[in-house]
Amino acid sequence: MASNHVVEARGLSRDYIVHEGGLVRRTRRVVPALVDLDLVITAGEAVGYLGANGSGKSTTIKMLSGILVPTRGSVRVLGHDPVPERRHLTRRIGVVFGQRSQLWWDLPLKETYPILAAMHRLPGSVWRPRWDELVAGLELEGFLDTPVRQLSLGQRMRGEVAAALLHSPELVILDEPTIGLDMISKENLRRHLDEERRTRGTTILLTTHDLGDVQRLCDRMVIIDHGKLAFDGTEAQLAELTGARRMMTIDLDTPADGLVLPRGVELIDTEADGLRLNLRFERGVSAAQVLSAVQARAEVRDLSIEEPAIEDLVRHIYRRG
Amino acid sequence: MAELAQDRPVSWLRMMATLLASRWRSQMVYRGSMIAEMATQGFLILTEFLELWVLLTHAPALGGFSLAEVALVYFCANLGFAIADLTGGSLDATEALVREGRLEALLVRPTSLLVQMITQELQLRRIGRVVVGLVGYPLGLALVGIDWTAAKVLLAVLAPLGGALVYFSFLMGAGGFQMIVVGARQAANAITYGGKYAGGVPGGALFTPIRVFFTFVAPALFTAWLPMAWILGIDTPAGTPSWLGWFGVPAGLLALGAATIWWRAGLRHYTGAGG
Amino acid sequence: MRATWELTAGGFRRHSRYRMGILAAMVANIMFGMIRASLLVATIEAAGAPVAGYDRLTAITYVWIGQALLGPIDLWGGSGWEMNNRVKQGDLVTDLLRPVHPLLQWTAQEVGRAASQVLPRFVPMLVVGALLTGLRLPTEPLSYLLFLWALLVAVVLSHTAWLLVGLLALWVVEVRGYLVAMMVVANLFSGLLIPVQWFPTWARGVIDHSPFRHMFQTPIDLLTGLADGRRLVLLAEQLAWALTLLALAALVLRRGGRKLEVQGG
């Protein structure tokens, strides 16, 4: 494994065995949850891991964090084989489960951290300054004394992220951390994770349904569909792959007459008696080409360009699968 | 941040102390109610003895043991069990963790599941049973009237210690078992609580297959009956001589070894089967 | 009437699914049964004569029927804990709003549950007992009919009693202590640990006529022959307790319902 690879998975696969039937007739069915995943994440990257429910996201996360054994293939995280070396690995990674809490339910939030620090064997001189940083960065001061079970979801998630970052891990894995959060909490979380990455070079792997997370935080997307890798690249690459089209809205001084559009450009509709044109154009066509085609026939007053919605791009991927 | 992982100035002992202290604090939040629960647990040891007391109103002895002697066996076993229950009592609750999906959150922490469950799921109220055992057992020894020798004193001290080891092993083994056969927690009860039941009565009163099982398979009878039979000089059925009572601690250690195997197997199964 | 049947059938279906759990429970029952049978037999042998009408085989039969009854009869308060939860989580309100009286709903479901335990748990346990140590069951068919009736009433009685404790949750914050206390008393005086007839004479008066005895010991007595000569009296007393507790529960529910209305659920 190359030294700057944080995650290296080759042919990673996982099957589940499902027992069905009643008292008399029991059948055994093999359900593949993840099939032949090849994934390399280098240090300092922020990768978004997308997929529908049941697509294999959680299974991947479990195999990376050492709580599930792969059926086939290999995986190395920070050089460790996750399941046999789990205890070593957990010292170097942080995991946030969106739906399961790592915090102590009955205790005030602030009491979680000395316990975790003790488990990580961190002396006070090391963890306390770090903790002050996290409290400030994630804005935890207001509810440190509140018992965890009384926290709102947003507050709890911030607490969880702080818990995962306390020991300054090299890799942070987050499983749907923004689910159910309000906009402000989401933004706060994303901002902090981004900062962690920029200041400490922490690698981030984030599974999510929320494409806003991906856009804000990740420079790369991996899309899983029905257990198989469907896409691995940047948003721009995705747009190109799906042949996604952009929208341009052009406002004119006078209606255009005899508009000739180049290939790959489509007039969707007009508004304001022909003074506003809504055009859609493909990847291969540049915005400049569209503009000049319109300018040839009319005076352009103003224009705006809209990138394809990432949701549409992703949906394209699913449909192709 | 690799140097942080190598650098471990906080000792294992200090870590345990911190973990236990935090658990104590969280359990003692409602002080009055905790004390009441401790008292209830202690009281339950007495009410559970009632069963044996009623039996002995109809017969002069049970398995050759008179009422006072039966009480001695009962308290000795219960003292051992109370200590085991206090330390390892939460270990046989792995099934709930698996069912509720909480096991994963524990596994991504750097301390072993065993240490986490012992410290973080500790039930303080079980101290109540330990206290009653610590009072009842020596009292029983005093009241029964024994011709004390140095050896007898030694065995009297060793017996509940061996008992604690044996019962702890049962609880830990049950925990491992529950991770393998999910939904079968009650089957494990046959040994953990069945063992406590059988261990607290004179083995001579048990049907032979049960006596043999709890001597040579799940050594519950080493926890009280055999040592007390040796101290009191009471005859035991063939095949289970009372001098076996001296092997309580070794039997406990063997059982602990077996329990560790079960526990590890349970974890391997959980991570292999996908919970 | 049809609603009642549907509820009962639903209770039956819901509880038939837990194959592994039933098997596991039976393993534990067998172990505890063997230990308990050992102790009773040891007592009888040390006494040199049958104790309170129980000879060796009767005692063993009593133990196995008891272990087998743990399936259908809710002796350890499952209903109580569940009621506590329903109150605390506000589900009680939904129960009260249904067109069928909640007491009838719950009782029907419980009877369904108990019925679902008869074939997979009650009968196999008797078979195991017969194979392990031998049993003595009555030859007269009437005994079995009376037993089934007593079992039905015992199921309802036990369930209602626990329901009452659980309903305390409407007025008390922490019901756990009461549930535990009830479990201790039920364990001792219902005839699970020791036959009720074995209790010393000075205590037997109270214990023998308590509702606990009728939750468990009464059906057993009809199969071990210990009820001979006073079967109808015993069954009448059992029924009286069941009806009394049901009436009490209905009263408590009405009071509690009003309380919920006032508080808003």
State the average pLDDT over residues C65-93.
Answer: 86
Q: What's A107's DSSP letter?
A: S
Instruction: Indicate which of A13, A99, A100, A126 best probes the interface with B, i.e. most B CBs within 10 Å of its own CB.
Output: A100
Question: pLDDT at position A305, please?
Answer: 87
Return d(Cα B222, Cα A64) in angstroms, integer. 45
- Does any CB of chain B come closer than 8 Å to the CB of residue C149? no
Tens digit of each residue's pLDDT, chain B (275 residues): 444 444 556 888 989 998 999 888 888 888 888 888 898 888 889 888 999 999 999 999 999 999 999 999 999 999 999 999 999 999 988 998 888 888 989 999 999 999 999 998 899 999 999 999 999 999 999 999 899 999 999 999 999 999 999 999 999 999 999 999 888 889 999 999 999 999 999 999 999 999 999 999 999 999 999 999 999 999 999 889 999 999 999 999 999 999 999 999 999 999 886 54
What is the domain range of residue C138? 2-264
Q: What angle do CA B258, B261, B265 make, to 5 degrees?
A: 145
CB-based burial label for B256 (10 Å; 0-12, 13-18, 19+): middle
Instruction: Select from B14, B22, B112 the Cβ nearest to the Cβ of A115.
Output: B22
State the average pLDDT over residues C227-232.
Answer: 90
Amino acid at residue number A46: A
Return d(Cα C225, Cα C50) in angstroms, integer. 14
Instruction: Indicate which of B29, B43, B51, B178 best probes the interface with C, i.e. most C CBs within 10 Å of its own CB.
Output: B51
Amino acid at residue number B162: G
Quick check: C198 and B55 CB within 8 A? yes
Total domain count, chain C? 1
Quick check: C38 and B206 CB within 8 A? yes
- Measured in whole angstroms, how far is the alpha carbon of residue C21 from the centre of its chain? 19
Q: What's A282's DSSP letter?
A: -
Return d(Cα A131, Cα A137) in angstroms, integer. 10
Closest-CA residue in chain B for C27?
B187
Q: Under 8 Å CB-to-CB from C155, ≥6 apart: which residues?
A: C72, C73, C74, C110, C111, C114
- Measured in whole angstroms, how far is the alpha carbon of residue C91 from the centre of its chain? 25
A317, A244 contact by CB (below 8 A): no
Tokens read off for A40: 């390399």
The chain B residues in contact with chain C (CB within 8 A) are 33, 36-37, 40, 44, 47, 50-52, 54-63, 181-191, 193-194, 197-198, 201, 204-207, 209-210
Å between B99 CA and nearest CA of chain C: 13
Q: Under 8 Å CB-to-CB from B186, ≥6 apart: which residues?
A: C21, C24, C25, C27, C28
Instruction: Indicate which of A112, A121, A128, A200 best probes the interface with B, i.e. most B CBs within 10 Å of its own CB.
Output: A121
Cα separations (Å) of C216 from A229, B3, C77, C157? 60, 65, 13, 10
β-strand partners of A48:
A206, A221
Instruction: For the sheet with A26-42, list strands across it.
Output: A26-42, A5-21, A72-77
CB-based burial label for A258 (10 Å; 0-12, 13-18, 19+): exposed
Tens digit of each residue's pLDDT, chain A (321 residues): 667 899 999 999 999 887 766 556 667 888 899 999 999 999 999 999 988 777 888 899 999 999 999 999 999 999 999 999 998 999 999 999 877 888 888 789 998 999 999 999 999 899 999 999 999 999 899 999 999 989 988 899 999 999 999 999 999 999 988 888 888 888 888 999 999 999 999 999 999 878 888 888 998 999 988 888 989 998 878 877 777 778 889 999 888 888 888 888 888 888 888 889 998 888 778 888 888 888 888 889 998 988 777 677 777 777 765
Question: How many CA within 13 A on the CB side of residue C231?
Answer: 17
Tokens read off for B89: 């009592």
Quick check: B207 and C38 CB within 8 A? yes
Closest-CA residue in chain A for B12?
A121
A244, A237 contact by CB (below 8 A): no
Buried b (16+ CB within 10 A) or exposed e, A161-190: bbbbbbbbbbbbbbbbbbeebeeebbebbb
Return d(Cα B172, Cα B190) in angstroms, integer. 14
| Of residues C8, C237, C219, C216, the one with CA closest to residue C107 | C8
- Does any CB of chain B come closer than 8 Å to the CB of residue A126? yes
Instruction: Select from B22, B104, B110 the Cβ nearest to the Cβ of A120.
Output: B110
State the average pLDDT over residues C17-38.
Answer: 89
β-strand partners of C51:
C54
- Does any CB of chain B come closer than 8 Å to the CB of residue A226? no
Return d(Cα C202, Cα A308) in angstroms, integer. 88
Instruction: Select from B9, B10, B275 the Cβ nearest to the Cβ of A118.
Output: B10
| Of residues A80, A59, A79, the one with CA closest to residue A71 | A59
Question: pLDDT at position A308, please?
Answer: 73
Cα separations (Å) of C203 from B58, B153, C206, C213? 15, 39, 6, 13
Cα separations (Å) of B141 from B54, B71, B147, B224? 21, 10, 11, 12
A304, A265 contact by CB (below 8 A): no
Return d(Cα A295, Cα A290) in angstroms, integer. 9
Return d(Cα C261, Cα A52) in angstroms, integer. 43
Question: pLDDT at position A78, please?
Answer: 95
**In sequence order, what DSSP letters do the residues of C145-204 get, joined into one string?**
HHHHHHHHHHHHHHHHHHHHHHHGGGT-S--HHHHHHHHHHHHHHTTSSS-GGGS-HHHH
Question: pLDDT at position C132, please?
Answer: 94
In this complex, the chains that touch C, judged by 3 or more CB pairs closer than 8 A, are B
Å between B8 CA and nearest CA of chain A: 6
A127, B27 contact by CB (below 8 A): no
Q: Which residues of B touch C28 (CB under 8 A)?
A: 186-187, 189-190, 193-194
Quick check: A107 and B112 CB within 8 A? no
State the average pLDDT over residues C15-19.
Answer: 65
Q: Is the pTM of this model over 0.90?
A: no
Question: pLDDT at position A21, please?
Answer: 60
Instruction: For the sheet with A276-281, list strands across it.
Output: A265-271, A276-281, A246-252, A300-306
Question: pLDDT at position C173, please?
Answer: 77
* Span between the terminal Cα atoms of chain A, in Å: 31
Return d(Cα A31, Cα A49) in angstroms, integer. 21
Q: What's C169's DSSP letter?
A: G
Dihedral of alpha carbons A120, A126, A127, A133, sign: negative
Task: Break chain B into its structural domains and give their ranges.
Answer: 10-20+31-269
Return d(Cα A231, Cα C35) in angstroms, integer. 63
Q: Under 8 Å CB-to-CB from A276, ≥6 apart: which residues?
A: A249, A250, A251, A252, A270
Phi, psi dihedrals of residue C250, rounded to the nearest 5°: -60, -40
Interface of A with B in 3-42 (CB under 8 A): 14, 16-17
Å between B4 CA and nearest CA of chain A: 8
How many residues are recorded in chain B?
Answer: 275
Asked whether the predicted pLDDT for residue C265 surpasses 50, the reply is no
Per DSSP, the three-state class of B203 is helix
Instruction: Select from B22, B101, B272 the Cβ nearest to the Cβ of A69.
Output: B272
Return d(Cα C50, Cα B38) in angstroms, integer. 40
Quick check: C21 and B186 CB within 8 A? yes
Phi, psi dihedrals of residue A24, rounded to the nearest 5°: -100, -55
Q: Under 8 Å CB-to-CB from A226, ≥6 apart: which residues?
A: A55, A56, A321
Instruction: Select from B181, B201, B207 the Cβ nearest to the Cβ of C34.
Output: B207
Q: Where are the beta strands (DSSP E) in A253-294?
A: 265-271, 276-281
Å between A284 CA and nearest CA of chain B: 45
Quick check: C27 and B198 CB within 8 A? no
Return d(Cα C131, Cα C152) in angstroms, integer. 27
Per DSSP, the three-state class of A205 is strand
Quick check: C198 and B58 CB within 8 A? yes
Return d(Cα A247, Cα A243) in angstroms, integer. 13
Residue A291: other Cβ atoms inside 10 A: 16
The single residue listed with the structure tokens 């007393």 is C237
Cα separations (Å) of A192 from A37, A43, A158, A221? 29, 18, 10, 20
Asked whether the predicted pLDDT for residue C209 surpasses 90, the reply is yes
Q: Under 8 Å CB-to-CB from A149, ≥6 apart: which residues?
A: A105, A106
Q: Which residues of A touch B101 (CB under 8 A)?
A: 100
Quick check: A67 and B108 CB within 8 A? yes
Interface of B with A in 94-133 (CB under 8 A): 101-102, 104-105, 107-112, 116, 120
- Does any CB of chain B come closer than 8 Å to the CB of residue C177? yes
Return d(Cα B165, Cα B77) in angstroms, integer. 11
H or E, element range at C258: helix C231-263
Average pLDDT value for chain C: 89
Classify strands A93-97 and A72-77 as parallel, antiparallel or unpaired.
Answer: unpaired
Question: pLDDT at position B3, please?
Answer: 41
Q: What's C133's DSSP letter?
A: T
Instruction: Indicate which of A65, A67, A168 best probes the interface with B, i.e. most B CBs within 10 Å of its own CB.
Output: A67
Question: pLDDT at position A271, please?
Answer: 87
State the average pLDDT over residues C127-141.
Answer: 93
Q: Which residues of B touch A14 (CB under 8 A)?
A: 274
Classify strands A171-175 and A93-97 as parallel, antiparallel or unpaired.
Answer: parallel
Tokens read off for A279: 């055009």
How confident is residue C262, by pLDDT bands cut at 50, 70 and 90? low
